[in-house]
Structure 1
Amino acid sequence: MAAHTDPPSTPRRPWRGVGADERQARRRAQLVEAAFTIMGTEGAAAVTMRGVCREAKLTERYFYESFSAREELLVTVLDEVARQAKAVLEKTLQDSAPAAGDLVRPVVRAFTEFVTADPRRGRVLFVESLAAPELAARGGELVAEFTATIAQALRSPGLAGEDADDRDVALNAQAVFGALAYLFQDWLSGRADIGRERFVEHVAQVIEQLARVTSVPLPR
């Protein structure tokens, strides 16, 4: 009896010079951008599979080509915006010279520019990541990642109090993140009616004050 052999698989042919994998990657990017638009303007609750496909101008069958569920797409959008924001923070921290005496203001200014350049970013980062139940777990993980970056900055010379220990720095980093989240929420929504330069200066001073808080020498 002859051994059974599977027929050779049909190669995925390029279409108009674009390979199948690249076409799929483009469709995925369209879906992410569409979800970002809806999430950043109407909120995570408004993101549906049909709505995203309609915004992306793709048929619904392509949704499950890239995402197993709506929740996976929401997390992908949040991750992408957070990745961009973190890159801005890290680059500015790297480029800013602590010896110049002002590390905080360049970072606050760069981050403010990032969220105001596209208002959708601010809503995804400061509203939906904290309010949408589907994003609660990932949002908590991202808070930990951002506070770690903030803690690194707070250890810079001249920022932390002279007697501050690692516990002080960790607690202060969490306080800074919480303060920034609510300050940016209010300012981006228009509730805090002040200009950009005053806002940047106010946020910078809040960070500087929080960075110096220490509970040493109280016991752990």
Structure 2
Amino acid sequence: MADRPSGRGETYGGQSREERAADRRERLVAAAVALFAARDYDDVTVADVCTLARVSKRYFYDHFADREALVLALHREVNGWLLEHVAAAAPRDPDGLEAALRPMLAALVRLLAQHPDRARIVYINAPRMELRRRGVLREEAELFGRLLAPLAPRLRADPMRYQRTILALIAGVSEVLIDWVWHDMRDPAEPLVDHLTGLCASLLE
């Protein structure tokens, strides 16, 4: 005998319950990206997100506890996407700090320029949540610290100093990027990459 659905409403429009839930979450996330990219955090409501996503509030709360939980999830996903691409851009055998830093910073700046909606989520709206911002800084510092460690043996000899130097470096880079995104990325990307590379190399050297 052929298998039958386990309950009423298991499939609808050719989609399983799980597929419909995944589709609703995807629409909520896409709507939130569009809205938080266009407006400040305080100017976006749960109702706004649901209206744009064409999802009822009931289903919104199946996925997110509130607006802040939604932004945190967005921030986590977008920042993970950024770090993945930065790590992929790291050269295998760089000839010095600048050669290691430039492709990673270029990948970061290029992605932000290509995706201004995601840039605003990471660098404008989410920084209002200070604890999450600090967590992100540590995630980025850990990535850069790991990738640059072979090129900074003098600093690495003092692990605590090295960790704090990398954290200060990433915090500085983030503030510069926040300022760039805040001004709608009007300045060209290439000089920004040059400035950030020089800043980071000077601090590490």
User: TM tier, shorter chain?
Assistant: 0.7 to 0.9
Give the Å deviation of 1:160. 5.5
Unaligned 5+ runs, structure 2: 1-5
Unaligned 5+ runs, structure 1: 1-8, 213-220
State which of 17, 33, 36 in structure 1 corresponds to 2:33: 36
CA distance in 2, matches of 1:179, 1:89: 17
CA distance in 2, matches of 1:137, 1:195: 31
Read off the aligned partner of 2:181 and give its amino acid letter. L
Question: Larger % of helix: which?
Answer: 2
Match of 1:156 in 2: 150
Question: Does the Cα contact within 8 Å between 1:154 and 1:173 map onto a contact in 2?
Answer: no
- Paired-residue identity, %: 23
Listed as ranges, the matches of 1:97-136 within 5 Å are 97-101=92-96, 102-131=99-128, 135-136=129-130
CA distance in 2, matches of 1:47, 1:109: 31
Question: Does the Cα contact within 8 Å between 1:154 and 1:211 map onto a contact in 2?
Answer: no
CA distance in 2, matches of 1:137, 1:90: 24
1:68 aligns with 2:68: no
CA distance in 2, matches of 1:142, 1:163: 22
Greater C-alpha Rg: 1
* Gap change, CA 1:162 and 1:35, over 3 Å in 2: closer
Give the Å deviation of 1:20. 0.9
1:202 aligns with 2:199: no
Read off the aligned partner of 1:45 and give its amino acid letter. D
Match of 1:215 in 2: none
Superposed CA offset, 1:59-108 (max 9, x none): 22221222222221111111111111111122122xx1234441111001
TM-score by length of 2: 0.86
Question: Does the Cα contact within 8 Å between 1:38 and 1:46 map onto a contact in 2?
Answer: no
CA distance in 2, matches of 1:84, 1:144: 16
CA distance in 2, matches of 1:208, 1:196: 18
Question: Does the Cα contact within 8 Å between 1:31 and 1:63 map onto a contact in 2?
Answer: yes
State which of 121, 125, 143 in structure 1 corresponds to 2:137: 143
